[in-house]
Amino acid sequence: MAKREPNRKRPIRKTARFTAAEIAEIKRQQVGAGYNQFGAFARYRLINSPIFNVSLIDSKAILPSVRNIGDQLNQITHTVNLTGTISKSQVMAVKELVAQLSKLINTYLVQDTAFEAALKSALTTSNKK
């Protein structure tokens, strides 16, 4: 049970544990931001730092397609290495596979531009304080 401190402006206490490297980085940021007290710095960062919603991809959805494209490219490469020549149909197949891979990357992996802009803004803002 938490000890009651009725005369305090902030009666609720939260704790966290850090590694030596983490606390050194926190101290560096604290000094860089001009805060003498850790509590004031922690409150500022916790309350004012933006929260980003990052949607992670389901690797089970993309991996089979990437694996299939990779296998086909590998087969073409193996054939070209054995024969020493490349046919027009093989070049077209490689172009098609690269287009499929590009489509997968655009569908699953390309970041949202609004997210990237917000992240960049937040990083430059937090570094200035």
Task: State what percent of residues in the chain have pLDDT above 90.
Answer: 53
Q: Does 43 share its domain with 65? A: no
- Retrieve residue 82's tokens: 């054995």
Range of the domain at 104: 59-115
pLDDT > 80? residue 5: no
Q: Answer yes or no: is 2 within a domain.
A: no
> For residue 70, what pLDDT is reported?
95
Other beta carbons within 10 angstroms of residue 30's beta carbon come to 19
Q: Which of 51, 54, 22, 62 is nearest to 38 (CA)?
A: 22
Q: Answer yes or no: is 4 within a domain.
A: no
- Retrieve residue 29's tokens: 């940021």
Q: Does 27 share its domain with 68? A: no
Q: Does 68 share its domain with 35? A: no
- Retrieve residue 54's tokens: 């990052």
Query: Do 72 and 97 form a contact (C-beta atoms < 8 A)?
Result: yes
Q: Answer yes or no: is 83 within a domain.
A: yes
Q: Answer yes or no: is 120 within a domain.
A: no
In tens, the pLDDT along 20-75 reads 999 999 999 999 999 999 999 999 999 998 887 666 677 787 889 999 999 999 99
CA 122 to chain centre: 14
Q: Answer yes or no: is 54 within a domain.
A: no
Q: Answer yes or no: is 88 within a domain.
A: yes
Query: Do 65 and 71 form a contact (C-beta atoms < 8 A)?
Result: no
- What is the pTM for the complete model shown? 0.45
How many separate domains does the chain show? 2
